[in-house]
Copies of this chain bind each other. A is one copy, B any other.
Amino acid sequence: MDFEIIRDRLDVLVNSNRISELKGALSMLNVVDIAEYLSGLDNEKMLMVFRLLSKDISADVFSYMDNDQRRKVMDALEDSEALRIIDDMFMDDAVDFFEEMPAGLVRRMLAGCDETKRAQINQFLRYPENSAGSIMTIEYVECHTGITVGHAMAEIRKNGVDKETIYTLYVLDDRRVLLGTVALRKMLLASDDAIIDTLMNPQVISVTTTDDQEFVADTVRKYDLMSIPVVDRENRLVGIITVDDIVDVIEEENTEDFEKMAAMLPSEDEYLKTPVITLCKNRLPWLLILMISATFTGMIITHFENILSSAGAMGVALIACIPMLMDTGGNCGAQASTLSIRGLALGEIQFSDILRCLWKELRVGVLLGIILALVNFGRLLLLNHTTAIIALIVSISMFLTVILAKALGCTLPLLAKSVGLDPALMASPLITTIVDACSLLILFSIATRLLV
């Protein structure tokens, strides 16, 4: 059913206070849709609807609400009720929630938790931001080496109901070192008295708590995993990360790349929820750096002042072509750098491919350069009625600029990566600024030779 229709029907029930009908309607909905509906309500109605949710879904709905509303719910609820919700949340969602809440609320809530839960949450809150430890969950099923399938199945039946995934069983030794995994499908097909170790896959792909979430996402994507175990430095199992959380990590990392490539500092908040002042802070540094770098282009123009003024009308015709030359150069560089940055992000190219990339881009540059220069030459003569010499100067500059832009665009991200910088910084804005200066130098050098 379309979300618009859902919202309209619920609105009618909420506004006319038909409580029991509303309860019934809510029970037909997915928790994600309920959270989305709540986000459009004012505080009073939101709290009213939230209190109507049945106990078994309220924690789930809470996990999908935004931080503002979650804080309001926490403030409005009795402490015991608030604690029950936190208790019902998966560990990764609970930690996520605590990370975003004000310290006072966190202290009050943690004081109410039982000791084990409190210790766990505190432990999780200590992992560095964006590390595997900070996004993992502890809802998994484990067993010790040497037990039978029947035993393990009983364990799953007993403890599995609350687990994020029960479809992989983790086999540990006495020191909790991860020995291997057993897929539930294999256990279903085996006899009850088979020893679990015989079904075990010992080649476990795992990550450590301090690995960056981007690395975790790359690993899960590469091996098509549904979940990945997280171990500490002694290879002891401490948590798992499921693929549905990885999907969010991937979108987060992509957004970060989009932002960096448009000369912004990355932000974790949704656009509409980010205050104006934060948006300005994220955008100002690169705008300033790039604006001041563009001083060079001005200096180049001033330096060649003589040729411009001595050439008279031809000088103006030359100047009139500068924006077009700069834009085309910038676009050519942006194309090459985008493919280079994206290839690095997806692991499709490495620094060692730099010569192959350069060779490819040089050929692309020559081919595109010829076509663009020819079109440009014709356009200048036929449409703009410039003199042949100006058209020639601009077209040769165009040809050389395109090749240079392609070469810089593909190599700079690879070079950045090789010295430990983020390749996404070498995107359109910076490349454009560099190519601008180069294209002006090329244009004026050729003009000096051909005009004087």
Instruction: Name A's B-contacting residues (CB within 8 A).
Output: 28-30, 32, 153, 156-157, 160-161, 166-167, 184-185, 188-189, 203, 205, 220-226, 243-244, 246-248, 250-251, 254-255, 257-259, 261-264, 270-272, 276-277, 279-280, 283-284, 286-288, 290-292, 294-295, 297-299, 301-302, 305, 308-309, 312-313, 316-317, 319-324, 326-328, 330-332, 334-335, 337-343, 346, 348-349, 353, 356-357, 360, 363-364, 367-368, 371-372, 375-376, 379, 383-384, 428-429, 432-433, 436, 440
Contact = CB atoms under 8 A, between A and B. Distances in A.
Nearest to A223: B32
Given A262-B428, A290-B327, A298-B324, A32 B271 contact: no
Most buried by B among A220, A326, A346, A360: A326
Given A320-B301, A364-B280, A272 B343 contact: yes
A363 B276 contact: yes
Given A203-B28, A276-B363, A326 B328 contact: no
A302 B223 CA distance: 59
Contacts of A255: 342, 346
Contacts of A379: 292, 295
List the number of copies, as a whole number: 2
Contact of A327 (B223, B250, B291, B334): B291
B244 A225 contact: yes
A270 B372 contact: no
Contact of A331 (B30, B185, B286, B298): B286
28 contacts: A28-B203, A29-B203, A32-B222, A157-B188, A160-B185, A161-B185, A161-B189, A243-B243, A246-B247, A254-B254, A259-B339, A262-B334, A270-B343, A270-B348, A272-B343, A272-B348, A272-B349, A272-B360, A276-B363, A284-B368, A288-B372, A291-B324, A297-B320, A301-B323, A305-B313, A323-B440, A331-B429, A334-B428
Given A287-B328, A290-B331, A294-B324, A360 B301 contact: no
Tell me what chain A mostly uses at the interface: helix, strand, loop, or mixed.
Answer: helix
Nearest to A375: B288
Contact of A295 (B251, B317, B324, B349): B324
A317 B320 CA distance: 15
Nearest to A227: B226
Contacts of A264: 335, 338-339
In the A-B complex, list the 10 residue pairs whose CB atoms are closest, starting with the nearest. Answer: A294-B324, A262-B338, A297-B323, A298-B320, A301-B320, A224-B244, A271-B343, A276-B363, A262-B334, A270-B348
Contacts of A342: 255, 258-259, 271
Contact of A244 (B189, B226, B280, B346): B226
Nearest to A436: B323
